[in-house]
């Protein structure tokens, strides 16, 4: 809206769809640029991630060049199978990370005079801005070289590459809009976040199984590609093969499938965006509740400050997806080590110790997870020692069954009953001693975490490589302090004398208890002295 001179009417200019899309894409680019320039460590981490992605892309491009020398049927099969996997990835990842990228979230743009079509076009164009989008575009350009044996197929591939990009980016926005609708309920958000983390934990076994499975079903791939080529996932990748082979009728039929799929995705995305914009603009909210008796977990702990902290922390472990995801991640990692373990059983020896280490380390983020809610501890004058002890007690209640699970799996796999006391001693040192170490360190240092209500997959602002290094240093210190019982375990394995195994148990329990006692006391003093400063730090994490 332009101001007009006195006596004249104001002139209103409405942006077109393309102008809205350009401005939204430019907004995302400026946000990305400012994020990278805000911190040197963020920029370095992004550059390293980009270099790794370029290495993977380089390998794929080289493979495409060699694929171009194969017969047209082989090129078509490989294109349909790999291209279908790319579309599945673009369509599923927004669902599994529904709150990970909210740069152009409709709820933030609802009050601006933007049309639904312009917003959708801006989101699709904005999908190109970022490492995944750039890699996809470059990979599509490399895909054109695989059809170089047939000029007609190359021309068709150019059109199909544009359509494939639109399918990927529009499907991603459609999935994001639908996921936003589904994730309005807290349980749905937790489920999506936890499933995402489980898939990441199981990527190793999945890729290993796929690698071995492809060798077994290599001869079946052409049949599968023939079926996928008539589906919305694979049709766009098979059109150049039909054109190169002179099958014009099949090419036209597949092209109609592609256009119909794209139209359906646009229609669904527009509908979901309209609903999201209406809900955000109207502030629609529904409150639901159910009658409860008693005060839940608070009834089951002593009426002391540390008991109240332990009850609250225990509720977080089961209700907050940032905590509860760990409860499923540990069994997932255990299953991965079980199936990928070698005959020597080394991975199973590491499993119980790793569970104890990760669970004790988990409470290092407690205050960061509290965010501004940590002010309640300061306003209620909760003693620092009670805060430290309550968080450790809640962690031990949750971690003990998981450590026992790891020990049972270790026993079943390696059948080393004489070493059981030593293994328990090492786990006790890592769990109790680690809890003491973390109680001290987390009272002095915090690191950015996803804010309350956000997905565990969200990368918090301010998280740098330096934070990652500090976390590894902390875990290294916890392992270093657990060396006495670990050395005794090795002595027992070397000598076969069960006395060393029982000695490792005694040393682990005593050392862990002492470290925990010292950590709670010293960490409590630091927390009493630095409470306001810690609140100021964690309140800035977004």
400 falls in which pLDDT band (50, 70, 90)? very high
In contact, 445 and 477? CB cutoff 8 Å: no
Is the pLDDT at 486 greater than 90? The verdict is yes
Q: Which residues contact 385 (CB under 8 A, 6 or more apart)?
A: 306, 520, 521, 523, 524, 525
Residue 379 to residue 390: CA distance in whole angstroms = 17
> Nearest-CA neighbor of 242 among 153, 174, 318?
153
pLDDT digits (tens, 9 = 90+) for 207-258: 555 555 555 556 667 777 888 888 888 889 888 888 888 888 888 999 999 9
CA 496, distance to chain mean position in Å, is 44
**What local confidence, expressed as pLDDT, does residue 24 receive?**
75
Q: Are 122 and 26 in contact (CB under 8 A)?
A: no
**DSSP string for 67-104:** HTTS-HHHHHHHHHHHHHHHHHHHHHHHHHTTTT--TT
- Rg of the chain in Å (alpha carbons): 28
How far is Cα 36 from Cα 46, in angstroms, rounded to an integer?
Answer: 8
- Could you give the C-alpha distances from 270 to 117, 120, 128, 229, in angstroms and in order? 7, 7, 19, 27
Kindly report the pTM of this predicted structure: 0.56
286 pLDDT higher than 50: no
Lowest mean pLDDT among 92-106, 132-146, 510-524: 92-106
Domain spans in the chain, listed from the N-terminal domain onward:
29-276, 298-540
Question: In angstroms, rounded to a whole number, what is the distance separating the alpha carbons of residues 41 and 82?
Answer: 34
Q: Residue 342: which residues within 8 A CB-CB, separation 6 or more? A: none
Distance CA 303, CA 17 (A): 62
What's residue 233's pLDDT?
86
pLDDT given at position 106: 64
CA-closest candidate to residue 538, choices 444, 472, 435, 474: 444
pLDDT bin (cut points 50, 70, 90) of residue 507 is: very high
Place of tokens 């000695």: 503
3-state secondary structure of 342: coil
For 345-369, what is each residue's pLDDT tens digit? 677 888 899 999 989 998 988 888 8
To which residue do tokens 């983020």 refer?
365
Tokens representing 324? 């509860």
Q: What count of other Cβ atoms lies within 10 Å of the Cβ of residue 23?
A: 13
Q: What's the pLDDT tens digit per position in 10-44?
A: 555 566 667 777 777 777 777 777 766 666 665 66
């Amino acid at each position: 809206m332009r101001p007009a001179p006195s006596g004249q009417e104001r002139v209103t200019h409405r942006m077109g769809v393309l102008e809205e899309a350009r401005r939204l894409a430019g907004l995302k680019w400026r946000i990305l640029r400012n994020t990278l320039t805000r911190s040197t460590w963020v920029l370095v981490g992004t550059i390293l991630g980009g270099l790794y992605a370029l290495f993977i892309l380089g390998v794929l491009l080289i493979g495409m060049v060699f694929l171009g020398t194969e017969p047209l049927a082989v090129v078509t099969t490989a294109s349909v199978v790999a291209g279908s996997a790319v579309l599945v990835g673009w369509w599923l990842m927004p669902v599994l990370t529904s709150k990970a990228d909210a740069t152009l979230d409709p709820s933030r743009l609802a009050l601006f005079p933007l049309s639904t079509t312009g917003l959708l076009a801006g989101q699709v164009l904005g999908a190109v801005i970022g490492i995944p989008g750039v890699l996809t575009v470059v990979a599509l350009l490399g895909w054109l070289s695989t059809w170089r044996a047939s000029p007609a197929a190359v021309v068709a591939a150019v059109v199909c590459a544009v359509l494939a990009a639109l399918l990927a980016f529009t499907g991603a926005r459609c999935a994001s809009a639908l996921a936003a609708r589904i994730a309005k309920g807290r349980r749905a958000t937790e489920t999506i976040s936890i499933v995402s983390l489980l898939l990441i934990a199981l990527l190793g076994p999945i890729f290993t199984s796929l690698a071995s499975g492809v060798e077994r079903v290599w001869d079946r791939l052409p049949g599968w590609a023939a079926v996928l080529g008539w589906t919305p996932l694979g049709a766009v990748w098979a059109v150049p093969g039909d054109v190169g082979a002179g099958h014009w009728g099949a090419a036209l039929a597949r092209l109609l499938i592609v256009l119909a799929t794209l139209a359906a995705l646009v229609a669904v995305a527009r509908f979901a965006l309209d609903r999201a914009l209406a809900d955000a603009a109207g502030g629609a909210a529904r409150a639901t509740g159910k009658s409860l008796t008693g005060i839940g977990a608070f009834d089951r702990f002593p009426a002391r400050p540390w008991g109240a902290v332990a009850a609250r922390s225990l509720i977080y472990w089961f209700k907050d997806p940032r905590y509860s995801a760990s409860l499923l991640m540990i069994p997932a990692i255990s299953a991965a080590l079980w199936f990928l373990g070698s005959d020597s059983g080394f991975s199973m020896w590491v499993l119980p110790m790793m569970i104890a280490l990760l669970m004790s380390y988990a409470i290092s983020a407690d205050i960061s997870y509290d965010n501004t809610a940590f002010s309640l501890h300061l306003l209620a004058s909760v003693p620092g020692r009670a805060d430290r002890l309550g968080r450790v007690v809640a962690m031990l209640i949750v971690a003990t069954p998981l450590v026992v699970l790891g020990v049972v799996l270790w026993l079943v796999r390696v059948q080393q009953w004489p070493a059981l006391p030593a293994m328990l001693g090492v786990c006790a040192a890592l769990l109790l001693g680690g809890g003491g170490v973390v109680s001290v360190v987390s009272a002095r240092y915090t690191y950015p975490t996803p804010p309350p209500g956000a997905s565990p997959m969200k990368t918090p602002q301010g998280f740098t490589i330096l934070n990652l290094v500090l976390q590894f240093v902390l875990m290294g210190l916890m392992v270093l302090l657990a060396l006495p019982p670990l050395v005794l375990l090795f002595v027992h394995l070397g000598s076969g004398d069960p006395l060393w195994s029982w000695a490792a148990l005694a040393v682990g329990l005593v050392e862990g208890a002492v470290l925990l006692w010292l950590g709670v006391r010293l960490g409590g003093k630091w927390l009493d002295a630095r409470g306001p400063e810690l609140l100021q730090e964690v309140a800035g994490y977004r």
